[in-house]
């Protein structure tokens, strides 16, 4: 299993429920959900990844199952992992998705511009 497809479907459903246009792309051995062409949340193995405002990471870490994203064995500023127990309930999943959506307008796009 490359990533938890059930979790990916829960995220898709939540974006639709919140009426947020998104695109999903398979990458980094998992799946990422892009909002406005910017990485917002994703699923890597059984964990959810979220791109959040770096000033809110301590708040996020205080929640069950949340930790620094260390995908490359280095902490990535503004990115968190949430283990399955931290998003078991729909309200917890929505909390982390909303946190990522709040930061999305401020996030820099990594999409390459053609010249």
The ranges assigned to domains in the chain are 5-105
pLDDT in tens, 63-99: 999 999 986 777 888 999 999 999 999 999 999 999 9
Question: Whole-model pTM?
Answer: 0.90
pLDDT in tens, 8-38: 999 999 999 999 999 999 987 899 999 999 9
**Which residues, 6 or more positions from 4, have their beta carbon under 8 angstroms from its beta carbon?**
43, 45, 46, 84
How far apart CA 37 and CA 109 sit, in angstroms, is 7
The tokens of 52 are what? 């959040």
**Protein fold of 5-105:** 3.90.1150
């Amino acid at each position: 299993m490359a990533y938890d497809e059930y979790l990916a479907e829960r995220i898709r459903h939540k974006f639709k429920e919140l009426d947020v246009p998104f695109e999903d792309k398979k990458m980094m051995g998992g799946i990422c959900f892009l909002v406005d062409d910017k990485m917002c949340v994703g699923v890597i193995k059984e964990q959810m990844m979220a791109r959040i405002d770096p000033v809110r990471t301590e708040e996020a870490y205080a929640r069950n199952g949340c930790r620094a994203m260390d995908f490359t064995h280095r902490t990535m500023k503004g990115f968190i992992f949430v283990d399955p127990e931290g998003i078991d309930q729909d309200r917890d999943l929505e909390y982390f998705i909303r946190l990522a959506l709040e930061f999305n307008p401020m996030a820099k796009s990594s999409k390459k511009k053609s010249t």
